[in-house]
Chain A
Amino acid sequence: MGYEKRFDGRGVEELRQMEAKVGVVKNADGSAMFKIGKTTAIAAVYGPRDLYPKFLQNPQTGILRVDYNMLPFSGHGERVRPGGSRRSKEISMVMANALLPVLDLKEWPNAVVDVFVDLPQTDAGTRCAALCAASMALADAGLLMKDMVTAIAIGKVEDKIVVDLNYEEDSYEHGSDIAIAMLPGTGKITLLQMDGQITPEDLKEVFAKAETACKKILEVQKTALKEKFKKPEGIA
């Protein structure tokens, strides 16, 4: 028996409904919201700014700090314990690694760029949504950036490779869940993580599907970034 119909009735390559907005946190130097299905991520960028304690400073370049955080009420009714956890610490680290290859912070020695990503509502694919929001916020903050970062979770459920897993698919017992972050310009991969197992042939299919999915995400990011600079109403 194969996986004929997805739990929420989507096509195998169909992404959940996406929505993005730039400039949602007015106090921040750059900010963005990225929503995919029921997963919502809000990212705020502060900096480049002073970095203390001093031993963290790097005289060669500015550094990037990422803080990933799921809000207590964001899950499926069970309270997520607030504050950092082993899981959030790992995700913060892999996110920083995924974002750094596009950033150039050489202009800002000894300084820091802080990225805070909070998820008020989650339904799988949180690190991917968080990355999509973070890269938009970094662009909005006016940092030197070679490319955007787009990310998507792809996995195998029964016999099908499906794009953009939701919570039911992500937690499917005999499946796999692969988070991929890709630079849309070059197709280079900056994050690759997996739960479960997959064959080399299937992994190739995953990469091919990730490329098309990331192009769709880029369009959403692009529209949102340009929307901020649209002519306000009532201007000739």
Chain B
Amino acid sequence: MEKTEDTLLLQDKSIVIPGEVIATGMGYIPGTGTYREGDKLNAARLGLLTIDGKVVKLLPVSGKYLPKLNDRVIGKVIDVLLNGWRIEINCPYSAVLTLKDATSEFIARGADLTQYFALGDWIVAKIVNVTSQKLIDVSMKGPGLRKLQGGQIIAVNPQKVPRIIGKEGSMVTLIKEATGCNIIVGQNGLVWIEGDPKAQLRVIETITKIEVESHLTGLTERISTFLKGKGA
């Protein structure tokens, strides 16, 4: 068989549509969101092209949250079960918080579970188990995992959460410091904001800006000038 030369057809950081040929030749390695057909490397979704050496990856720019182990998520109590609570976590599947994982307090058999978490309560929890059929267990045992009181919750594009958090939380710290708000970003695309009402609005404005512009370079600089520009 004749060998095709390795050629990259698209630029790094460009938006690629499903089925679009990204590269030809066997030299490039298909990463997530791509597949190989013959000697061509095609896109398997709409995404942002990321080239890491010879590995070609597509970062998703849209889509629902797919539950992953150890993710910290924000959820709402939607039902009380015999041995725990059912939690809605902004994806097609609901999670279960069992008594054992909910609190270190002793809960007597037959106790009224709504004393601890009532219907409609919001919580921050960690995913501790996901099965192939997407049965999910969450836990409240860990630092920062708690019931949420006050504040407000907004929904963002779950695929933009890494951008909103930033490298090791740099972006969210930037927003917290500039606005003085408390912010918790759940991996499932729900964000809890608490603080001065006006500051809360600025947080929402900033997060919306990140969502729209996250695929463009120089994001951190633009966000910090945006936060400074309007004054605290």
Asked whether any CB of chain A lies closer than 8 Å to the CB of B216, the reply is yes
Interface residues of B in 46-70 (CB under 8 A from A): 46, 60-64, 66
Asked whether any CB of chain B lies closer than 8 Å to the CB of A147, the reply is yes
Q: What is the distance, in angstroms, from A50's C-beta to the closest C-beta of chain B?
A: 5
Closest to A228 in B: B15
Do residues B46 and A225 form an inter-chain contact, with CB atoms below 8 A?
yes
Asked whether any CB of chain A lies closer than 8 Å to the CB of B19, the reply is yes
Q: How far is the CA of A147 from the CA of B46 in the complex (A)?
A: 10
Closest to A229 in B: B15
Q: A47-B92, A109-B132, A148-B18 are in contact. Are A142 and B45 (CB under 8 A)?
A: yes
Interface residues of B in 11-30 (CB under 8 A from A): 15, 17-21
Q: How far is the CA of A59 from the CA of B135 in the complex (A)?
A: 12
Do residues B92 and A111 form an inter-chain contact, with CB atoms below 8 A?
yes
- Would you call the interface of chain A mostly helix, strand, loop, or mixed? loop
Q: How far is the CA of A229 from the CA of B33 in the complex (A)?
A: 18
Asked whether any CB of chain B lies closer than 8 Å to the CB of A166, the reply is no
Residues of B within 8 A of A71 (CB): none
Asked whether any CB of chain A lies closer than 8 Å to the CB of B145, the reply is no
Q: What is the distance, in angstroms, from A188's C-beta to the closest C-beta of chain B?
A: 11
Q: A109-B133, A146-B44, A232-B213 are in contact. Are A184 and B60 (CB under 8 A)?
A: no
Residues of B within 8 A of A102 (CB): 18-19
Do residues A229 and B61 form an inter-chain contact, with CB atoms below 8 A?
yes
Indicate with 1 or 0, residue by residue over B74-117, a CB within 8 angstroms of chain A CB atoms.
Answer: 00000000000000000011000000000000000000000000
Do residues A47 and B42 form an inter-chain contact, with CB atoms below 8 A?
no
Do residues B64 and A59 form an inter-chain contact, with CB atoms below 8 A?
no
Asked whether any CB of chain A lies closer than 8 Å to the CB of B202, the reply is no
Indicate with 1 or 0, residue by residue over A220-236, a CB within 8 angstroms of chain B CB atoms.
Answer: 01100110010110011
Residues of A within 8 A of B216 (CB): 231, 235
Closest to B40 in A: A185
Q: How far is the CA of A183 from the CA of B37 in the complex (A)?
A: 14
Residues of A within 8 A of B1 (CB): none
Do residues A142 and B62 form an inter-chain contact, with CB atoms below 8 A?
yes
Q: What is the distance, in angstroms, from A120's C-beta to the closest C-beta of chain B?
A: 25
Closest to B91 in A: A48
Do residues B92 and A222 form an inter-chain contact, with CB atoms below 8 A?
no
Do residues A226 and B42 form an inter-chain contact, with CB atoms below 8 A?
no
Closest to A142 in B: B63
Given contact pairs A108-B92, A148-B18, a sample of 4 additional A-B residue pairs in the complex whose CB atoms are under 8 Å apart: A108-B66, A109-B134, A142-B64, A148-B19
Nearest 8 CB-CB pairs, A to B?
Answer: A142-B63, A147-B19, A142-B62, A145-B18, A111-B92, A185-B19, A229-B15, A139-B46
Interface of B toward A, CB cutoff 8 Å? 15, 17-21, 33, 35, 37, 42, 44-46, 60-64, 66, 92-93, 132-134, 159, 212-213, 215-216, 218, 222
Interface of A toward B, CB cutoff 8 Å? 29-30, 47-50, 59, 102, 104, 107-111, 139-148, 183-186, 221-222, 225-226, 229, 231-232, 235-236
A sample of 18 inter-chain contacts (CB < 8 A) reads A49-B64, A59-B133, A109-B134, A110-B134, A111-B92, A111-B93, A139-B18, A141-B63, A142-B46, A146-B19, A146-B35, A147-B42, A184-B19, A221-B17, A229-B15, A232-B213, A235-B216, A236-B218
